[in-house]
């Protein structure tokens, strides 16, 4: 799992976590196996080590829960992306109401993933505030997304072209030696591939898929959406894009995951019962765990899953190419 990190290079002003991080890291070096020199909370805070993570769509739902856990329980610094500035500020306030000690370690970042202008402005803001060297970001979590019953073009704009736009803008600010990118997919992706696999051949699960192939597939779907469910299609494309991005950036850890079936505005009224706080297990693993591969898709139980069929929590892991 996670290993203790050195204290942050730029010490945070969030005193409790910063001290806990430093103390846990120091104790981890000297503690003997079986000794009770440091507690689980200090070790958890040491995992983040004060490194900075950007979470898109952090103003509500699973994104907000992840931001809270990262800053308050895992010792990360968090940029909480929100397309609406006021909603972003309110989300930061809500997190700080519970964790006032973290006030210098989380801030809202206006960021509409569907807009070049907004994403570029967000990138400039991060670069000018934190500098580009050393790279200010350890992680990018592409969480922002839209749900069901929207037109194909709008769905792809947020769920696929959005993460791509964010990755391309922020890649220069991501730590080249240990940076991680997480794309939020969904079980709807593999389900879509399973249903349409015969028709679309291996395009969506081909580790060698190119952007040109993927884009042509999406443009065709936008032009002729009949018979293709936009949300599932967009999430299948997120998985394909994840393979492509990982291939092009072998120095990074780039993976996709599903949070599970979680009660948020996307699923309201559809029978989901789990809270957003329960939808972060895979994301936390992909940010902090020891990962054996790259360009992979993980289920909500943080276990590797296939991209062409559903694997439920607790089912055996997928092993394959």
**Site residues, ligand NAP (CB under 6 A):** 56-57, 59-63, 83-84, 87, 112-114, 143-146, 158, 162, 184, 186, 258-259, 261-262, 264-267, 272
Q: Which of 73, 12, 5, 7 is nearest to 41 (CA)?
A: 73
Residue pair 139/54 in contact by the 8 Å Cβ criterion: yes
Q: How far apart are CA 69 and CA 257, in angstroms?
A: 17
Q: Given the complex with ligand NAP, which of 203 and 256 has the nearer CB atom? A: 256
Q: How far is the CB of 164 from ligand NAP (least distance, A)?
A: 13
CA dist 51 → 179, 233, 285 (Å) = 10, 33, 16
Q: Given the complex with ligand NAP, which of 69 and 264 has the nearer CB atom? A: 264
Q: How far is the CB of 265 from ligand NAP (least distance, A)?
A: 4
Order the strands of the 77-82 sheet from edge to edge: 106-110, 77-82, 52-55, 139-142, 180-184, 253-257, 297-298, 304-305
Q: What angle do CA 159, 163, 165 make, to 5 degrees?
A: 120
Give yes or no: 196 in active site. Answer: no
Q: Which of 231, 241, 298, 318 is catalytic?
A: 231
Phi, psi of 262 (to 5 degrees): -120, 140
Q: How far is the CB of 163 from ligand NAP (least distance, A)?
A: 9
Residue pair 234/156 in contact by the 8 Å Cβ criterion: yes
Q: Given the complex with ligand NAP, which of 61 and 75 has the nearer CB atom? A: 61
Q: Given the complex with ligand NAP, which of 154 and 215 has the nearer CB atom? A: 154
Q: How far apart are CA 198 and CA 192, in angstroms?
A: 11
Q: How far apart are CA 263 and CA 232, in angstroms?
A: 18
Q: Given the complex with ligand NAP, which of 85 and 124 has the nearer CB atom? A: 85
Q: How far is the CB of 30 from ligand NAP (least distance, A)?
A: 41
Q: How far is the CB of 33 from ligand NAP (least distance, A)?
A: 39
CA dist 253 → 186, 212, 280, 309 (Å) = 19, 23, 18, 23
Residues with catalytic roles: 231
């Amino acid at each position: 799992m996670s290993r203790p990190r050195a204290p942050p290079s730029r010490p945070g002003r969030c005193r409790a976590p910063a001290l806990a991080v430093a103390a846990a890291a120091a104790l981890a070096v000297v503690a003997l196996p079986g000794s009770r020199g440091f507690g689980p909370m200090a070790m958890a805070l040491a995992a983040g080590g004060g490194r900075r993570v950007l979470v898109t769509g952090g103003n509500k739902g699973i994104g907000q829960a992840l931001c809270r856990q990262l800053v308050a329980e895992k010792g990360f610094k968090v940029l909480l992306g929100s397309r609406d500035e006021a909603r972003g500020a309110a989300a930061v306030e809500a997190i700080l109401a519970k964790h006032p000690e973290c006030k210098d370690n989380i801030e809202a970042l206006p960021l509409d993933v569907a807009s070049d202008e907004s994403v570029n402005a967000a990138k400039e803001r991060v670069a000018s505030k934190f500098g580009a060297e050393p790279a200010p970001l350890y992680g990018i979590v592409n969480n922002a997304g839209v749900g069901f019953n929207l037109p194909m073009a709008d769905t792809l704009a947020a769920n696929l072209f959005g993460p791509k736009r964010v990755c391309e803008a922020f890649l220069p600010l991501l730590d080249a030696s240990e940076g991680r990118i997480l794309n939020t997919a969904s079980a709807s992706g593999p389900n879509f591939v399973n249903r349409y696999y015969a028709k679309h051949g291996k395009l969506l699960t081909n580790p060698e898929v190119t952007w040109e192939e993927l884009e042509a597939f999406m443009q065709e779907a936008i032009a002729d959406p009949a018979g293709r469910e936009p949300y599932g299609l967009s999430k299948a494309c997120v998985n394909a894009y994840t393979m492509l991005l990982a291939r092009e950036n072998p120095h990074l850890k780039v993976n996709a995951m599903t949070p599970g079936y979680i009660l948020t505005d996307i699923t309201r009224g559809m029978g989901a019962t789990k809270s957003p706080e329960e939808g972060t297990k895979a994301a936390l693993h992909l940010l902090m765990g020891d990962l054996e591969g790259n360009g992979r898709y993980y289920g909500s139980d943080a276990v590797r899953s296939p991209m062409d069929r559903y694997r439920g929590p607790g089912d055996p892991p997928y092993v394959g190419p």
